Amino acid sequence: MGSFKLGKLTLRSLFSKPVTVRYPYERRTQPPETRGHVKNNVEDCIFCGMCQRACPVGAIAVDRKAGNWEIDPFRCISCKYCVRECPKNCLEMDVEFTHCATEMSVTVEHKDMPAPAAKKPAAKAGAAAGAAARPKPKLTPEQEARVAEARKKAAAKKAAAAKAAKEE
């Protein structure tokens, strides 16, 4: 009975197309939900670093100043956490798997970042003056009592520490 089944299977295989393909010369079309590798549409990226923080294996590095977004495809476990966390939806899972390589390397996406605006000294001085001119909030009698009590305690603590230092 067993050999009959085996013979039937062999005959069927002889006259049907092979199930396997000659990868990498031939490639199969992957279903759209395949988690191949992470791709970044860097023009939409704001370099917030959410993907880096979400990655459980530390495969992503974001350098906002340099405008570099890096991924180590050989470390990535295709969990898709980074894609889910990206606030700009600029990450996606490409259906293509990471290509074969003889050496491990990282993929870098670069975007020219605008130069940080220089702080205006006049604006800084204005802010300080504004803070000084702001009236102090009026305390209720209970709050004033609590403040006085806290000041008293702090003074007593300071005096005790000074006395201890003198005795040493």
Q: Which residues bind ligand SF4 (CB under 6 A)?
A: 38, 40, 45-51, 54-55, 57, 59-60, 62, 71, 76-82, 85-86, 88, 90-91
Pairing of strands 91-94, 37-40: antiparallel
Nearer to ligand SF4, 13 or 30 (CB): 30
Strand ranges inside the chain, DSSP E: 37-40, 60-63, 68-71, 91-94, 107-110
108's CB contacts (< 8 A; 6+ apart) are: 68, 69, 70
In the complex, minimum distance from the CB of residue 101 to ligand SF4, in angstroms, rounded to a whole number: 17
In the complex, minimum distance from the CB of residue 107 to ligand SF4, in angstroms, rounded to a whole number: 11
Identify whether the C-beta of residue 109 lies closer than 8 Å to the C-beta of residue 69. Answer: yes
In the complex, minimum distance from the CB of residue 16 to ligand SF4, in angstroms, rounded to a whole number: 37
Tokens 């259906």 sit at which residue?
Answer: 95
12 vs 107: CA distance, rounded Å: 45
In the complex, minimum distance from the CB of residue 110 to ligand SF4, in angstroms, rounded to a whole number: 12
Nearer to ligand SF4, 34 or 78 (CB): 78
Nearer to ligand SF4, 44 or 149 (CB): 44
Structure tokens at 84: 């889910």
